[in-house]
Amino acid sequence: MGMLSTIKRDDPELYKAIKKELKRQRESLEMIPSENFASRNVLLVAGTVLANKYSEGYPGRRYYGGNGNIDAIENLAIERAKKLFNVPHANVQPYSGSPANFAVYVALCNPGDAIMGLNLTDGGHLTHGWKASVTGKFFRSISYHVKEDGSIDIDEARRLALENKPKLIWIGATAYPMALPFGEFANIADECGAYLVADISHVAGLVAAGVHESPAKYAHIITTTTHKTLRGPRGAMIMVTEKGLAKDPELADKIDRAVFPGLQGGPHDHTTAAIATALLEASSQEFKEYAKQIVKNAETLANILSNRGIKLVSDGTANHLLLIDLTTFGTGLGVFAQEALDSAGIVVNKNTIPKEPSSPFYPSGIRIGTPAITTRRMKEKEMEEIAQIIAEVIMQVKDCKLPADTEGKKEYIKKFRKRLRNNLVIKEARKKTAELCAKFPLYPDMKL
């Protein structure tokens, strides 16, 4: 981070904000499942002169000159992705996960076509056809759901697919604590003739490490972000499988054309290079052990929280995240749990639960994950301590009652935040998390 010395001199206002953010990350337990800490090498590569180049097009087919080095870098990222995920084609240019998913629609669908995805409040993603997303407005979206035990309702999904004959079906989630049923959905897609797209953004690192089943032999297309369990920069990839090419030999070309020139201009070459770095790291034995520990840590958290009387969707986890159901205490308590845990130095996010009784703005659950704290090399012993802190903090919000009217909600939350500042249990919890963070320093050699 040597260049920050000049930022300190030339732009002290920005430097101060960056320094404060590093301090926040160092002194908090980052437990949002979709967040992680990129390696030092990923950060360094993302900040190189590669940010200076325009490279519209693909390797060997650019619209600008001077791209020989960029071609080599992009080809390196492509080959590493193909090898790591066992696919014949990879596009590493999407700017992020949502644009990557939309590129799949552009490649395969026309406006008004039927598509299927997991319902948002059941753990699905906005881009899988939710009504507030453009994907739910441009296409005829059919949502499948989870059952009482929190698992995806395969029978319902099959029935809906056979009734509606969707052009494509998504299998993927953002708040689903169980293994994704790729095989079952492959059968459904084959029955109705749909393309199956596996969005593995959350579990890509687990898939790469062999900790979660790969969708490569089941799906036609795989999409993923690169910054969650894969621990890379904030980018995305679209991969076409052998099954996809067997269904449509032109599928890879359709995907590439949808990304460019369909939706994007020049790729972010510095991000492409950082993706290549992350893919190399993800192919190591050390990363495989890391991914295994993510799941072990999540399982430990789940067991202890359950023993403390905290209700979990699916009664546990089979991956990197837990979804805590707070309806045992009341509805709409997710925002209070999030705020209280943040005050205690534990960063999580409020989240809807299956059959959400409140709303996405004031949901009844919180989502917790272990990728980032596992990156800090915390293990089961630390999970035991963290679980106890989380349980103690949740007990501080169980009696909150969210008013029905909007203004009443805002005023109640405002007063709640004031009470947090004087809560002795929260203060003690913050002290414990600070001590834990100090034992597992983040970027210890990074000097600002």
Average pLDDT over residues 64-78: 98
With CA atoms as reference, report the closest residue to 185 among 177, 174, 196: 196
Q: What mean pLDDT comes out for the span 60-85?
A: 98
**Per residue in 233-273, pLDDT tens?**
999 999 999 999 999 999 999 999 999 999 999 999 999 99
| Widest distance between CA atoms in the chain | 64
- In this prediction, residues 156-162 reach a mean pLDDT of 98
Q: Please state, rounded to an integer, the average pLDDT across all residues of the chain.
A: 97
Q: How many CA atoms lie within 13 A of 215 on its CB side?
A: 30
Amino acid at 122: D
Count the Cβ atoms, other than its own, within 10 Å of residue 3.
8
CA distance 301 to 389: 11
Instruction: Judge whether residue 159 has pLDDT over 90.
Output: yes
In 304-372, DSSP assigns E strands to 321-325, 346-347, 349-351, 365-369
Q: Is the pTM of this model over 0.85?
A: yes
Work out the average pLDDT over 146-150: 95
Distance from C-alpha of 100 to C-alpha of 123, rounded to nearest angstrom:
19
Q: Which residues pair with 325 in a beta bridge?
A: 365
Look at residue 377 in the predicted model and tell me its pLDDT.
98
Could you give the CA distance from residue 153 to residue 145 in angstroms, rounded to a whole number?
6
- 135 and 108 in contact (C-beta within 8 Å)? no
Consecutive H or E run containing 305: helix 285-307
Q: What residues does 238 pair with on adjacent strands?
A: 91, 223
Taking 90 as the threshold, does the pLDDT of residue 95 lie above it? yes
Question: 297 is written with which tokens?
Answer: 């840590």
List pLDDT tens digits, range 295-344: 999 999 999 999 999 999 999 999 999 999 999 999 999 999 999 999 99
What confidence score (pLDDT) does residue 2 get?
54
Per-residue confidence (pLDDT) for residue 1, from 0 to 100: 44
Active site residues: 54, 56, 199, 225, 228, 234
For 286-439, which CATH superfamily applies? Aspartate Aminotransferase, domain 1 (3.90.1150.10)
Prior bond to 249 cis, omega within 30? no
Contacts (Cβ under 8 Å, ≥6 apart) of 232: 38, 42, 226, 274, 275, 277, 278, 279, 282
Mapping DSSP onto H, E and C, the string for 267-291 reads CCHHHHHHHHHHHHHHCCHHHHHHH
Look at domain 46-282 and name its CATH class: alpha beta
Element (H, E) at 15: helix 12-27
Instruction: Give the angle subtended at the CA of 438 by the CAs of 205 and 33, to the nearest 5°.
Output: 25
Q: Which residues of 308-339 are buried (b: 16+ CB within 10 A; e: fewer)?
A: eebbbbbebbbbbbbbbbbbebbbbbbbbbbb
Contact in structure between 108 and 168 (CB atoms under 8 Å): yes
The answer on pLDDT for 142 being more than 90 is yes
Q: Is the pLDDT of residue 128 over 80?
A: yes
Query: For 411-448, what is each residue's pLDDT tens digit?
Result: 999 999 999 999 999 999 999 999 999 999 999 988 87
Q: What is the token pair recorded at 242?
A: 């052998």
- Give which of 242, 270, 215, 329 is closest to 92, Cα–Cα: 270
Residue with tokens 């995305």: 236
pLDDT given for residue 5 in this prediction: 83
Q: Which helix (H) or strand (E) holds 392?
A: helix 380-394
Closest by Cα among 356, 332, 378 to 175? 356
CB burial of 414-434 (b: ≥16 within 10 Å; e: otherwise) equals: eebeeebeebeebeebbebbe
d(C-alpha 334, C-alpha 352), whole Å: 8
Per-residue confidence band for 3, with pLDDT thresholds at 50, 70 and 90: low
266 to each of 54, 63, 438, how far by Cα in Å? 6, 9, 41
All CATH 3.40.640.10 domain ranges of the chain, comma separated, are 46-282
Domain with CATH 3.90.1150.10 in the chain: 286-439
